[in-house]
Amino acid sequence: MNSWIICCQGKKTAPLRLFLFAHAGGGAAAFRGWNDRIGDEIELCYVQLPGRESRLLEQPFSSMAELIPHLVDALAAHIDRTFAFYGHSLGATVAFEAARELRHRGAPGPAHLFVAACHAPQLPWPYPPMSGLETTQFLREVQERYGSIPRQVVEDEELRSLLLPTLRADVTMIETYACSPGLPLDCGISAFGGLQDHTVSRSSLDHWRAQTHGRFHLHMLPGNHFFPQLVESRLPEFISAELIEIVGTQQHEEHDRPLSGM
Question: Which amino acids are annotated catalytic?
Answer: 89
DSSP string of 78-108? G-SSEEEEEEETHHHHHHHHHHHHHHHTT--
- Phi/psi zone of residue 25: left (φ > 0), alpha (ψ -120 to 50 degrees), beta? left
Q: How far apart, in whole angstroms, are the C-alpha atoms of residue 130 and residue 83?
A: 35
DSSP-assigned letters across all residues of 182-199: -PPBSSEEEEEEETT-SS
Looking at residue 46, the DSSP 8-state letter turns out to be E
Show Cβ contacts of residue 253 under 8 Å, excluding neighbours closer than 6 positions: none
**Is 187 exposed, middle or buried, given 0-12, 13-18 or 19+ CB atoms closer than 10 A?**
buried
Give which of 244, 241, 261, 240 is closest to 252, Cα–Cα: 244
Helix (H), strand (E) at residue 129: none
